Amino acid sequence: MSILKVDNLSKDYGKIKALQNISFHVPEGSIYGILGPNGSGKTTLLGIIMDVLKSSGGSYQLFDENPADSHRKRIGTLLETPNFYHYLSAVQNLKITAAIKNRPVEDIDRVLDVVNLTQRKHSKFSTYSLGMKQRLAIANALLGDPEVLVLDEPTNGLDPVGIAEIRMLIQQLAQQGKTIIMASHMLDEVEKVCTHVAILKYGHLITHGDVNEILSNDDIVEVASIDVAKLKNALINFPGNPQVQIKENVVHLNFPAGTANLEEVNRFCFERGIVLSQLQLKKKSLESKFLELTN
């Protein structure tokens, strides 16, 4: 079952096209990252899915059906910065939101335990760290034990410790069987946490799919010899047809992650009478891969 199917979804704000014909689907049980720089349309997309905004075109489905209020009751959301009463405790704040959302008050102790705030459940919200505030917001989204969580920038503004806490929490929730859809501009977090990813830029869908395929670190083999042009012309015919480029008199061969074999490259060149002065394996960084995709 697909938790979410998006079909040619668009959103215009006058002349500004926030989303343009976006299509992808979220498999059940996945941690699906919607990745892109600020202003790429991530929050707009989540707002449409949760019926906070209306689309200008296209459609979407929830749980393989046309969206209805009954579907959204199966989804917990964190779409904005946590906004609780600073002078109230975690329990008091959650009692208020449970009443507003018609969620069971009896569920409060359970969700506070899930996000590891039980020992501080009677402390005022004003005494919480940023990471604790974000965990309380996720506890709020967990009221009623929804099947799906939709999180907008869940690690935004957190220090490394807070980011690690939220990352671990998301992974634990996924292990419990929940499907998680999270928007983020942080490439490293999506790569570490998510199973699938859709990359947006200026309202366009650049690519989507399995995160290990989309954000894999390519193998780059750097090769050099006296005659660089001859070397490049030979390597164009290397088995597997890797991408071949010349950068600063060094030939770069791009292979899928984990497939480069220096011995085979060296033998291939030697059999064609080319003596190599350089043969080195490097990894393309995630940042380079992301910039390549978005540019």
Pair (189, 265) in one structural domain: no
Domain boundary among 161, 191, 214: 214
Do 128 and 71 share a structural domain? yes
Question: What Å distances lie between residue 275 and 244, 249, 278, CA to CA?
Answer: 18, 15, 9
CATH number reported for the structural domain that contains residue 249 in this entry = 3.30.70
pLDDT reported for residue 58? 94
Give 207 or 214, the one with higher predicted confidence. Answer: 207
Domain count within the chain: 2
Same domain, 58 and 138: yes
CA-CA distance, 211 to 220, in Å (whole number)? 20
For residue 10, list its beta bridge partners. Answer: 57
pLDDT for the residue 195? 94
Last residue of a domain, one of 195, 214, 233: 214
In our burial notation (b when 16+ CB lie closer than 10 A, e otherwise), range 69-92 reads: eebbeebbbbbeebebeeeebbeb
Tell me the per-residue pLDDT of 225-249, one tens digit each, with 9 for 90 and over.
999 999 999 999 999 888 888 888 8
Instruction: Identify the pLDDT of residue 143.
Output: 94
Using CA atoms, how far residue 260 sits from 221, 243, 286, in Å, is 7, 12, 18
Question: Looking at the structure, do residues 48 and 10 belong to the same domain, yes or no?
Answer: yes
pLDDT tens, 252-261? 988 887 788 9
Share of the chain above pLDDT 90, in %: 64
Task: Name the domain boundary from 147, 181, 214.
Answer: 214
Between the alpha carbon of residue 92 and those of residues 82, 116, 134, 146, 220, the distances in Å are: 15, 17, 16, 21, 55
175 with 250, same domain: the answer is no
pTM score, whole prediction: 0.78
148 and 225 belong to one structural domain: no
Per residue in 50-109, pLDDT (tens digit) is 989 999 999 999 999 999 988 888 999 998 777 899 999 999 999 999 998 888 899 999
CATH of the domain at 152: 3.40.50.300
Q: Which residue has the tokens 């950068």?
A: 247
Helix axes 130-142, 160-175, angle to 10 degrees: 20
Domain boundaries, position 133: 2-214
Mean local confidence (pLDDT), 130-151: 93
